[in-house]
Amino acid sequence: MILFISMILCSIICLLIDSKKGEGVSGFIVGCLLGPLGIIIALFTKGNRIKCSSCKELINQDVTKCPKCTYDVVV
């Protein structure tokens, strides 16, 4: 039972981390399968983000303008 609760907790944490990177569902699966290790993976993966060529900030792949410097992102 404790294992089950910790698995759910890890999944939610991974989901929260990865949803900021634009890949919420895969984070949930990784967290569910790997537990605390999944959180570490979620923290260190870049996800679907790309680097803004103007300010070098990591931004979501499906945005057309950088939220930080409003530079037009060309994908």
- What is the binding site for Zn ion (CB under 5 A)? 52, 54-55, 57, 66, 68-69, 71
Residue with tokens 């991974």: 14
Amino acid at site 52: C
Q: In the bound complex, what is the minimum distance in angstroms from residue 72's beta carbon to Zn ion?
A: 10
What sign for the dihedral angle of Cα 44, 48, 49, 51?
A: positive
Round to whole Å and give the CA distance between 33 and 15.
Answer: 13
Q: In the bound complex, what is the minimum distance in angstroms from residue 21's beta carbon to Zn ion?
A: 16
Q: In the bound complex, what is the minimum distance in angstroms from residue 54's beta carbon to Zn ion?
A: 4
User: Judged by CB, which is closer to Zn ion: 6, or 61?
Assistant: 61
